Every structure is written in structure tokens, then in C-alpha cells.
Amino acid sequence: MSDTLTPGPRPGPLSRVDRRRRAVAGAALALLVSVTGCTSSQEEKSATDRTGDTTSVAVTGPLCDVLPSGTEPGSPGSLVDQSPDRALAWIPVLTTFEAAIRATGMAEELSAAGGLTILAPTDDAFRAKFSTANLDHLLLKDTDTLRGLLREHLVGGARPVAELVSAGSVTTLAGTTLAVTAAEPGARLADRAETVCADYRVTGARIHVINKVLGNLPDTAHEEDDHH
């Protein structure tokens, strides 16, 4: 019998993940396999001590069902050893938020000592808030304003969504206070946004995907309709 392993069928392409990131995905997946493939109890304990059970990282919310899962690149288990900025790049619905982090040079701020909670609006949330022209202006020219907006979505400490609900309110790095109430299966923030896929665990942070943009910048999405 040949020792050559016949590869199984390849998964279909991820429509929202840039091909240039596949090399990184392979490395992340190899790390995940090496952790979850340990057979001795001591190896399993060591892997759990470092990152937790990477095969069963639980995320909650209605959007989780359509996001990468299992052993797919970008799945919750594959992100536990990633820095926050790299993890954001692997969650397909956060391309605008991740681009804003890069445009403002805030990657290091996401890895702050003491941990961080990241309330990351989806791409749809940004489209519902800003016109294309307004968003382009923020990304390319008005990064100071954009940086302030992003800090409205960052909270000190890597907090699970249940802890946010228990606290009842949190203070963002921008200095604003957000009321937090239960909204099964996650949380409602500032009586405006809700978590739609909460509790991604990454290095030094928790990422909660939310469905609205926080902060007080004016809504400009309607301006695109005015120009048609």
C-alpha cells in the first residue's frame, strides 16, 4: 500500500477573503491542527493552558451561522492566537472596520496592555451609516475623526458579552458611556446596536460583531440617494 495520502476534496473558495491572505491562512490552520491533534493528556492540557479549546470556541448570534466555522480560515478556533488586527482581517463582514484600523494606524492600540473589547460594526452597518463619499473622506483624509469614531467602539479589558451585560454599562476609550442590556443571545448597546456574532477570542482581546455604528457622527447614507 502506498504511503502517499490522497488529498480530500478542496473546499470552495471563500468569496470575501483576499487570495493573498491564503498563505497566512495555511499557517493558522497548521497551528490549529497541531494544537487540536495532540493525543496525550499532557499535550492537551498544555494547548488548553495557552489558548483554550480551539476546536470549540463558542460565538453567539444570528450572523455566526454564515461566517467561517470549524477548520475554515477565519473560524473562531483559528483566531485565538491571532493579534486583534490580524483577526479582524479574517472575519469577512468586517472589511470596512479593518480598513479603518489600518487607515488610522491603530493596530498597536488594539493590543493594549490589559486587554481590549472590540465592538466591530459590520460592512452593512457602515453602509447604512455613511455615504460612499463620506466614508472615503474619513478613510483617506479625515483620519483624526475616524480615529475618534473607532475609539467609540473600544472598551478596556477583554470582556465576554455576558460580562458586558452583567456590568450594565461600559466606558469606551473615547470616554463615552454605553448602556448594555441583554438581547438574546447577546447584548444591546446604547439602545442602538446589537451583537450579531459575539465572543471571538483573540490574543488579548474579545471581538463582538455588531449591527450598527456607534458614536455621534451624522448619518450621511441618504445623501447618495439625493444625488441619483
pLDDT in tens, 172-193: 999 999 999 999 999 999 999 9
- CB 76 within 8 Å of CB 217: no
pLDDT band at 119, cuts 50/70/90? very high
Establish how many alpha carbons lie within 13 A of residue 75's alpha carbon, considering only the half-sphere containing its beta carbon: 17
Measured in whole angstroms, how far is the alpha carbon of residue 126 from the centre of its chain? 15
Give residue-wise pLDDT tens across range 35-57.
Answer: 334 333 333 333 333 334 445 68
Q: Which helix (H) or strand (E) holds 200?
A: strand 193-202
For residue 92, the model assigns a pLDDT of: 97
Average pLDDT for 155-166: 97
Strands 193-202 and 205-210: what pairing? antiparallel
The one-letter code for the residue type at 224 is E
For residue 226, the model assigns a pLDDT of: 55
The verdict on pTM exceeding 0.85 is: no
Angle of CA points 69, 10, 48, to nearest 5°: 40
21 pLDDT more than 60: no
pLDDT band at 113, cuts 50/70/90? confident
Per DSSP, what are the bridge partners of residue 44? Answer: none
Superfamily, domain 53-226: FAS1 domain (2.30.180.10)
Average pLDDT for 9-28: 44
For residue 11, the model assigns a pLDDT of: 44
